[in-house]
Amino acid sequence: MRITAVLTALAFAALSAGCASTTRIEASDNSTFTPSARVSLNLSTLEKSPSEPQPGHAIEASYSRVKGKDDQTVDSGNAPIVLGSTTFAAPVQIRNTFDFEFADVAWRYRMQSRNKKFLFEFRAGAGFAGLDLTVASSTQQVSQHFSSAGATGGVGLIFPFRSTTALQLRATGYLSPADSVNEMFALEGQVVQALHDNVIVRAGIVWWEIRGQALTAQSDFRLRAFGPALSLELTFGK
């Protein structure tokens, strides 16, 4: 029993040391641009054209992409940054560059408020994340691609100004068990304008946080992006 307890304690200590043996890769860029595209198929009988905000069920597929970069300083005495097979030992000044893509297919439900002044929105489905991450110092550079699949969900509010114009607020989350991009969170605030019965354009701002947590044999990462966004949606009725 004593031997088992000692071995368990040593294994736990080794695991804890491994988790703390690298410095997290950090980047925060507040000047990014996010283009995106959506296609939605309404499953409920519609009283208005598909491009006008209204209650009902739908299937929605979307794709977004955001690129950013930021500098990071790892001071003397801190653990190194490790990406792939490359180690950046402290002290070091590095530049982190990322190119993130996210796609999802989700069920969407919109429900009108009691006063009929706004709509609640709920989404749940499957998401797919792709990330190209580059870390560079004055003496070396390395790039690595990460990809993962997981569950996505979100909530939102829609405030119509008139039949073809609205303000849309949306929060989206993503979780994956992969040893890769395993967490993502996005906040959107956009003005929605119907251009046609089946065409919608959105313009506004988006904030992203992309994470790789508890990664094996390399640094975790936390990447943040904020800036304007532009989206085009094709929407159809039954």
16-23 contact pairs (CB < 8 A, 24+): 19/214, 20/79, 21/79, 22/79, 22/80, 22/81, 22/82, 22/218, 22/219, 22/220, 23/74, 23/78, 23/79, 23/80, 23/81, 23/90, 23/219
Helix (H/G/I), strand (E/B), else coil: 115: coil
Number of structural domains, the chain? 1
Report yes or no on 17 lying in a domain. no
Partners of residue 27 on adjacent β-strands: 223
pLDDT higher than threshold 60 for residue 11: no
Report yes or no on 11 lying in a domain. no
Backbone phi, psi, residue 33, to 5°: -130, 135
Dist CA 54 CA 110 (whole Å): 7
CA-wise closest residue to 159 among 169, 167, 171, 151: 167
Any idea what the CATH number is for the domain that residue 98 is in? Answer: 2.40.128
- pTM reported for the whole predicted model: 0.88
The two counts, helices (H) then strands (E), for the chain are 1, 12
Backbone phi, psi, residue 237, to 5°: -90, 180
pLDDT tens by residue, 158-188: 999 988 999 999 999 999 999 999 999 999 9
218: domain range? Answer: 24-236
Report yes or no on 195 lying in a domain. yes
Report yes or no on 194 lying in a domain. yes
Element (H, E) at 82: strand 81-83
**Tokens (6 digits) for 4:** 């088992």
**Tokens (6 digits) for 134:** 């580059």
What is the pLDDT confidence band of residue 238, given thresholds at 50, 70 and 90?
confident
Report yes or no on 49 lying in a domain. yes
Dist CA 40 CA 107 (whole Å): 10
Report yes or no on 3 lying in a domain. no
Report yes or no on 16 lying in a domain. no
pLDDT tens by residue, 92-123: 999 999 999 999 999 999 999 988 889 999 99
